[in-house]
Structure 1
Amino acid sequence: MSSSRKSAVVAGVFFLVTEIAAIAGLVLYQPVLSDVNYVIGAGADTRVLLGGFFEVILVVAVIGTGVTLYPVVKRQNRSVALGYLCARLLEAAVIVVGIIGVLSVVTLRQDLAGAAGADRAALTVVGRSLVAVHDWTFLLGPNLVLGANSLLLAHLMYRSRLVPRFIAVLGLVGGPLICASAIAVLFGLYDQLSVWGSIAALPVFAWEVSLAVHLIAKGFKPPPVAARGVPAVEPNPGLSAA
């Protein structure tokens, strides 16, 4: 297997892992995200901690996609490729902040909620504040920043034709769309986890999944002859005269 084929397979696997880990983390986080009194209640700490573990896997996979694809796409445009890598690293960093916020709620519940003389109302406020940190990181990282890096990568893939253009078009549409949706949520037009939010996320989800499947199954398409720097064959003047 060539190095290019290996890079394609690894990147494809990383993309699939991001989708699985993101969904798993969000589902497992639900007790702490949906219960305003979680910090003073019975809790579901094991489930939430497992969600945090999946989010750590998500962070590793997000960084992995950027690092794996950078040597490939920088041949098309080094500046845009570097922008993609930096945006991917920023997305991972924002997700880490959200993980810390959620896991801090678990620590607060375990260490202070049952203590004698604990101010339950104050603990609830602090717990909800930490959840709010996660909610904002969930909007800014896997939505706004994700939209930006999806647009950059899709642009590189479209120009280089390393993947079929219909796949790149999904990213060119999905990236700006999820950014616009994140801005709409930011200004309170609708909730992030809503029908409109889900519809806006579908194209970028389709982009990442279809890209992953193509990279794993077929790898990168060879660039056109002209893009490889091979001159076109000119007709032989002598033969033409004859």
Structure 2
Amino acid sequence: MKSRIETILQNINDACSKSNRNFSDVKLMAVSKFHPVEEIFQAYNCGLKLFGENRVQESCAKFPEILQNNTDVELHLIGSLQRNKVKNIVPLCSCIQSLDRIELAQEIQKQCEKINKKMKVLFEVHTAEDSKSGFQNIDDIKTTLDYILSFENSFLEPVGFMTMAPFTEKESEIRKSFITLRDIRDIIQKEYSDFNFTELSMGMSQDYKIAIEEGSTLVRIGTAIFGERKY
């Protein structure tokens, strides 16, 4: 695993150099879904501190003990989130990357208020047909931002955007997906200067180098770190 992580970090560095960016601009997230706690600790011992999980149930089974004993570990939820599961995940994670509808924002606000916890959120945007989730249009994102702004003390802190590129060999289509997300971020940032949308979560094991060239600040890597999933 150590050599796989070193290869990824080198690739990130190369992609940053190619696009005149600093290596420190890009965070590496280890996507640990379907991988046991032992492997998460293996990644942690290789220097990784940021982890992503897709499922609430799995997060709740694996991460309470990890987070309790390792205060430098950070967990993000990156998978689709049902409203009835929000109360279970908010105590564990520092960011929900899969905010894809206003109803979910309302539930996160409600549950975070109960435990007095500020939650970072990313707006998941639908930029490819392969993905079922994500905001389909910019107006719905604006409506959700207006909802968040309506609170004197909102427990949601929007910090950026997330997307999944299409699963294709065509680099032009993958690139187009990432450019779309970056353009949406730029449009929203101009209109909503109260917020600072610094995060662009885009790029996975198969396309993270392209994502970095198009401005990604956070790449979500599973297979290239852990190997094939254990179902």
Question: Larger Cα Rg: Structure 1 or Structure 2?
Answer: 1
Determine which structure has the larger helix proportion and give its number: 1
TM-score, structure 1 as length reference: 0.25
